[in-house]
Chains A and B, each alone.
Chain A
Amino acid sequence: MIYQGKQKIWADYQKEIPDNHWFYVRSCIRQNFFPASEKYFLAICRDQLGRDIYESEHHTTCAGIAYHCDTIPQETAMTVVARQFALMTEAGYENLVTSCITSFGNYTEILETWRQFPELEEKVREHLWKACRREFKKPKYVAHASDLMYKLRGEIAERAHFQLVHRATGEPLRIVEHIGCHYSKMFPHKGVGGAEYPCVLSGMAESWGGRVIDYPERRHCCGFGFRQYFVKANRGYSLSNTHKKFESMEPYRPDAIITNCPGCPYFLDRWQYVISEMEGKTYGQNGYGIPVLTYEELAGLVLGVDPWNLGLQVHQVAVEPLLDKIGIPYDPARKYLGMDEKKIMTPGLPTSLKCF
């Protein structure tokens, strides 16, 4: 592989990402399944790096999941998004940053569609006014939170307590990066690095000491498929696609997978559990799986945040082997505590996948 070839391509897809003053909209899936991720994204950007990131308590889901499950018409989806723009305008912001990748794709698609068909934008403005007496200005920039963290990766590297390096051997960790489909597949120029070799995650991993692995199914969808997961009858599709990715990455012996979409880490994590239960097969070493992290969790780890405060205990695949590799200390006794150090019941363990 000729690394310089990729660098040339990245140069063609430089995206302008403003440095400060962002209006933040949350992710349904991330809040449910990776609750500390968003907290640490804000804590790192606001408290450690001094940026202004504002959240309105009145914002809602962008309804992107419903849009891609085809349960709402396009005009409904667009008007819900228009309302988010109205809240942004009201708060005095012109840069929008989304936590969810489907949201990012949704906002980008809607803005592009309005650019092509201004009559539709007019119609949506009317709808929003009639429905809730709100008006909006379109955002000047829309970015995904991983774009922001990519832009700030140097500042994070400066403050890092840990490197993505195998403590015992000094070798960089082998990182698989998985980019959510809705990040740049529809609009390659809206993603840092384009659609074929996006560098938003590899840039972070490399800045923090890791080595990124390319494997044949790198660009393949994790298989979420919206309705293909939500409806129980369809889940085989979702599992099959994730399985395909694991079979493809296995020979490269990755130490960790990092993702920017909120859904992908859920699938890449939980389907490993299911595959081990169904077939007894695991993809990590010694009966463990390959730990899957969000970019906020990765940033938090290198900055020295306690893994249990980062919420790594709510992953199914054990992260302890990775923490040991890096040399990040953790207290096993504190893993499953509740609020205020309260001892609560601990989760059951899978029968096949090794977990702590």
Chain B
Amino acid sequence: MVNRNPVIAVIGAGIAGLEAARQLADLGYSPVLIEKEPAVGGHVAQWNRLFPDMTPAAEVIDALKKQTAKIRTLLGTEIASINRLKDGFSLVLTDGTSLLCQAVLFATGFQLFNAAKKEEYGYGIYDRVITNRDLEAWFNTRKDMRIKQPEAVGFVHCVGSRDLKAGNTQCSKVCCITAIKQAIEIKEEFPDAEVYCFYMDLRLFGKKYEDFYIKAQRDYGIHFIRGRVSEVGEAIDGRVVVKAEDTLNGKPVKVTLDLLVLMAGIVCNPDAQHYARQVGVSVDDDGFLKSRDNIAAITESSRPGVFFAGACTGAKTIPETLAEARSAALNIHHYFNKRK
């Protein structure tokens, strides 16, 4: 029997889930958005301004919300269990209801690396150490006791990325551009502050990203030190003392700062790994969900009816995520057509 109006469970109502749901609805299907937080928008809803054009994040989110306003959305709801059936899937949700669907789209996104795990950086121990997320939140709310007219600010690249001991050997892709963006924003806020970026490599692969680097050097005098931060300590006045090597000069350096921003990386959402196993989809050796093919079929899993969009398969930028969301919707459309 053919289902005239297939239902698709879209797990996660961040930008990937919202965009995919929009596309699926336009194609005439019935997506259901399942979101564990009390609001849609995922991580991007918490951000302030987005590279490369400094677009307000709120604009992107508001547009997506408007376009998905009529789609069935279950907020504050998680999945208690998910099972594969002969022709679809059955989900039991934490609100007690169950949902029958013909396809599942993982739009579960990422989890920000817990910076407290990099013990030597003192997050959660030293007062003046914050993360990229904390700083972005401050740009939105201007409420953070730790940020008080800093005269010297440091950005630590690769926190929880490219790091065997942190449990994530991959690059998180977007932290370098975010660090430079935030460094420029801090300079605009506190023009007299000295700002330092401590990096191993600068990965500025995207459209107009290199312009940020040029601007940071030419217009804002931001200092770039090629050396991974080894240790953070606290001086008697509460300022943080950072140790790194200036590898281009071959000398160890010690810098005292009023504020240190840790660029916490992107790791897989552990809930996603849990649900994925329940539907027979594997986790790749980088911890993210495993696509059918990493070149030709990123949005497809190895099992029929299960699809992916966005950071659940690896670190992604916003345009990449939106593109994958549309692509996944198209994959689902073809999947249903083939079954007719």
Residues of A at the B interface (CB closer than 8 Å) are 1-2, 4-6, 8-9, 194-197, 214-219, 251-252
Neighbour of A1 across the interface among B123, B126, B231, CB < 8 A: B126
B236 x A6 contact (CB < 8 A): no
Q: How would residues 100 to 135 of chain B score, 1 for a CB under 8 Å from any chain A CB and 0 otherwise? A: 000000000000000010011011111100000000
B233 x A1 contact (CB < 8 A): no
Name A196's closest neighbour in chain B (CB-CB). Answer: B119
- A112–B124 CA distance with the chains assembled, in angstroms: 32
Interface flag for B58 (CB, 8 Å):
no
B124 x A2 contact (CB < 8 A): yes
Q: What residues of chain A lie closer than 8 Å to B124, measured between beta carbons? A: 2, 4-5, 8
Name B120's closest neighbour in chain A (CB-CB). Answer: A196
A251 x B116 contact (CB < 8 A): no
Interface flag for B85 (CB, 8 Å):
no
Shortest beta-carbon distance, B252 to chain A, in Å?
12
Name B119's closest neighbour in chain A (CB-CB). Answer: A196
Neighbour of B231 across the interface among A2, A219, A251, A252, CB < 8 A: A219
Shortest beta-carbon distance, B245 to chain A, in Å?
15
B233 x A5 contact (CB < 8 A): no
- What are some 30 contacts across the A-B interface (CB < 8 A)? A1-B125, A1-B127, A1-B234, A2-B124, A2-B125, A2-B127, A4-B124, A5-B116, A5-B123, A5-B125, A6-B125, A8-B116, A8-B124, A9-B116, A9-B119, A9-B125, A195-B119, A196-B119, A196-B120, A197-B119, A197-B125, A216-B234, A216-B235, A216-B241, A217-B233, A218-B233, A219-B231, A219-B233, A251-B236, A252-B236
Per the 8 Å Cβ criterion, residues 205-249 of B in contact with A are 231, 233-236, 241
- A251–B238 CA distance with the chains assembled, in angstroms: 13
Q: What residues of chain A lie closer than 8 Å to B236, measured between beta carbons? A: 215, 251-252
- A195–B165 CA distance with the chains assembled, in angstroms: 12
Total CB contacts across the A-B interface at under 8 A: 40
- A56–B233 CA distance with the chains assembled, in angstroms: 43
Shortest beta-carbon distance, B257 to chain A, in Å?
12
Name A197's closest neighbour in chain B (CB-CB). Answer: B119
Shortest beta-carbon distance, B234 to chain A, in Å?
6
- A92–B29 CA distance with the chains assembled, in angstroms: 73
Shortest beta-carbon distance, B164 to chain A, in Å?
13
Q: How would residues 269 to 294 of chain B score, 1 for a CB under 8 Å from any chain A CB and 0 otherwise? A: 00000000000000000000000000
Shortest beta-carbon distance, A178 to chain B, in Å?
15
- A187–B26 CA distance with the chains assembled, in angstroms: 56
Shortest beta-carbon distance, A37 to chain B, in Å?
30
Q: What residues of chain B lie closer than 8 Å to A196, measured between beta carbons? A: 119-120
Shortest beta-carbon distance, A112 to chain B, in Å?
16
Shortest beta-carbon distance, A343 to chain B, in Å?
46
Q: What residues of chain A lie closer than 8 Å to B233, measured between beta carbons? A: 214-219
Neighbour of A194 across the interface among B119, B123, B126, CB < 8 A: B119
- A4–B233 CA distance with the chains assembled, in angstroms: 17
> Which 9 A-B residue pairings sit nearest by Cβ, starting from the closest?
A216-B233, A5-B125, A5-B124, A196-B119, A251-B236, A216-B241, A196-B120, A9-B119, A2-B125
Name A217's closest neighbour in chain B (CB-CB). Answer: B233
- A4–B126 CA distance with the chains assembled, in angstroms: 11
Q: What residues of chain A lie closer than 8 Å to B119, measured between beta carbons? A: 9, 194-197
- A63–B123 CA distance with the chains assembled, in angstroms: 39
- A112–B126 CA distance with the chains assembled, in angstroms: 33
- A195–B126 CA distance with the chains assembled, in angstroms: 17
Name B238's closest neighbour in chain A (CB-CB). Answer: A1
Q: A2-B127, A5-B122 are in contact. List 5 more A-B contacts (CB 8 A).
A: A1-B127, A4-B124, A8-B124, A197-B125, A214-B233
- A8–B124 CA distance with the chains assembled, in angstroms: 10
Q: What residues of chain B lie closer than 8 Å to A197, measured between beta carbons? A: 119, 125
Q: What residues of chain A lie closer than 8 Å to B126, measured between beta carbons? A: 1-2
Query: A214 with B116: in contact, given A1-B126, A1-B127, A5-B124 (CB under 8 Å)?
Result: no
